[in-house]
Amino acid sequence: MAIYPIRVFPDPVLTMPAADVMEFDAALAKLVDDMIETMYDAPGVGLAAPQIGISKRVFVADAGDGPFAMVNPTVVETSGKDKSDEGCLSIPGEYWVIKRPDYARAEGFDIEGNPVTYEGVDLMGRVLQHEIDHLNGRLLLSRLSSRVRNQALKELRGEPASRMNGRR
């Protein structure tokens, strides 16, 4: 197994839609093993392949019930509403309150190409949505209101967070 370096914003691989996996082979199984090890090392509750520079539709996650992987997943149903702090290994140290549906169900494949479904509320619902966003080239920043996003982008670029506090 191997631990990969995690790509951070604004690495362009993070905002590119990832390609479907075509081969369910030993290389895919090894990639998933390495991603699980990298996720726990970070530590994080989810990791998508683009976050280690591999633009393929694969993610791993552990929302408390042990690690699992999904290949070529899509969110097929969501419901309810939830508002919770959310962060991302590719935007280290930053957390924002993000509104999302509470429940999500995702369909895809396991590493052998068998159809699998995962679903859940709270953390599980959020992780499924967050990781599949990554595979669609979508970062947390795109889930923020434009005002909060502009402020966040300034901070990430190292510009002064706000001039409001500079009053003398």
Q: Which residues bind Ni ion (CB under 5 A)?
A: 88
Catalytic-role residue among 77, 86, 131, 159: 131
In contact, 92 and 14? CB cutoff 8 Å = no
For residues 20 and 39, give the distance between their C-alpha atoms in angstroms, rounded to a whole number: 21
- Cβ distance to Ni ion smaller for residue 49 or 111: 49
In contact, 128 and 104? CB cutoff 8 Å = yes
- Cβ distance to Ni ion smaller for residue 9 or 103: 9
Task: Give the neighbor-by-neighbor strand order of the sheet with 58-61.
Answer: 46-48, 58-61, 68-79, 103-109, 115-120
Q: Is 131 in the active site?
A: yes
State the residue number with the nearest CB to Ni ion. Answer: 88
- Cβ distance to Ni ion smaller for residue 24 or 138: 138
**Shortest Å distance, C-beta 89 to Ni ion:** 6
**Shortest Å distance, C-beta 111 to Ni ion:** 21
Q: Write out the two tokens for 96.
A: 């924002």
In contact, 14 and 134? CB cutoff 8 Å = yes
For residues 134 and 146, give the distance between their C-alpha atoms in angstroms, rounded to a whole number: 19
- Cβ distance to Ni ion smaller for residue 24 or 68: 68
**Shortest Å distance, C-beta 112 to Ni ion:** 26
**Shortest Å distance, C-beta 151 to Ni ion:** 19
In contact, 63 and 123? CB cutoff 8 Å = yes
Active site residues: 131
